[in-house]
């Protein structure tokens, strides 16, 4: 069985629908889905806030590159265009970890090279894996410890919403949607 932790985010169009497209595509492969968070953009580019969540999924047919390809297909289906690094996007699907694999391949670095520096990854991940750990450069630590090491402003930029990706009323409108 291949288990992946996926970080998903959107800040263009119907952000909630873009995130839900991931959970709909994953279907019964989903093990856990965090609540949705709103987060300030990361990377210094002026843009709308993101909706972010973490999805943990299992699929015996996918390896780490399979998860990457699936994420890229989901991004393409949401009309993701890569114009500016850390710029606005309809959908971002990042493979954070997969089966404890460590890889420095530029196409798929695992674990995700900046996951331990991003509260928008750590906070929702803690919701679905409170005892979870993340290994960075041989340092395997609890997610809560990585989060505690972040600057207070980084942690304070992540806000839980009442939005859910599974199990809530269909058709719920994204309150931050921009045409």
Give the per-residue pLDDT at 106: 87
Q: How far is CA 171 from the centre of its chain?
A: 22
* 168 is an active site residue: no
Give the per-residue pLDDT at 81: 66
Give the per-residue pLDDT at 178: 40
Give the per-residue pLDDT at 176: 45
* 89 is an active site residue: yes
Distant-in-sequence, close-in-space partners of 49: CB < 8 Å, separation ≥ 6: 11, 38, 39, 40, 41, 176
Give the per-residue pLDDT at 2: 92
Give the per-residue pLDDT at 90: 86
What's the pLDDT tens digit per position in 101-149? Answer: 999 998 899 999 999 999 999 999 999 999 999 999 989 999 999 999 9
- The residue annotated as part of the active site, out of 15, 20, 80, 118, is 80
* 114 is an active site residue: no
Alpha helices in 8-110 (DSSP H): 15-26, 64-77
- The residue annotated as part of the active site, out of 14, 20, 92, 174, is 92
- The residue annotated as part of the active site, out of 94, 127, 141, 155, is 94
Structure tokens at 65: 């590159």
C-alpha 34/C-alpha 22 separation (Å) is 13
For strand 92-98 and strand 3-10, is the pairing parallel, antiparallel, or unpaired?
A: antiparallel
Give the per-residue pLDDT at 177: 42
CATH topology of domain 3-160: Alpha-Beta Plaits (3.30.70)
Q: Which of 62, 8, 68 has its CA nearest to residue 34?
A: 8
Regions of the chain short of the pLDDT cut 50: 168-179
* Residue 115 near residue 139 (C-beta atoms within 8 A): no
Q: Give the orientation angle of helix 64-77 with respect to helix 15-26, to 10 degrees.
A: 140
Q: How far is CA 64 from the centre of its chain?
A: 15
C-alpha 96/C-alpha 145 separation (Å) is 17
* 99 is an active site residue: no
Domain ranges of the chain: 3-160
- For the question of whether the overall pTM of this predicted structure is more than 0.85, the answer is yes
């Amino acid at each position: 069985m291949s288990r992946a932790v996926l970080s998903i985010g959107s800040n263009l169009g119907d952000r909630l629908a873009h995130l839900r497209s991931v959970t709909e595509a994953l279907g019964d492969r989903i093990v856990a889905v965090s609540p949705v968070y709103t987060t300030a953009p990361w990377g210094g580019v002026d843009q709308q806030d993101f909706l972010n969540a973490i999805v943990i999924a299992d699929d015996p047919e996918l390896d780490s590159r399979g998860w990457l390809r699936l994420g890229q297909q989901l991004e393409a289906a949401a009309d993701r265009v890569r114009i500016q690094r850390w710029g606005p996007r309809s959908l971002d699907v990042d493979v954070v970890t997969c089966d404890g694999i460590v890889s420095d391949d530029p196409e798929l670095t695992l674990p995700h090279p900046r996951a331990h520096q991003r509260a928008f990854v750590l906070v929702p991940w803690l919701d679905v894996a409170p005892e979870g750990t993340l290994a960075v450069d041989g340092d395997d630590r609890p997610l809560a410890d990585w989060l505690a090491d972040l600057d207070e402003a980084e942690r304070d930029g992540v806000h839980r919403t009442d939005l859910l990706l599974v199990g809530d009323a269909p058709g719920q409108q994204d309150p931050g949607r921009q045409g």
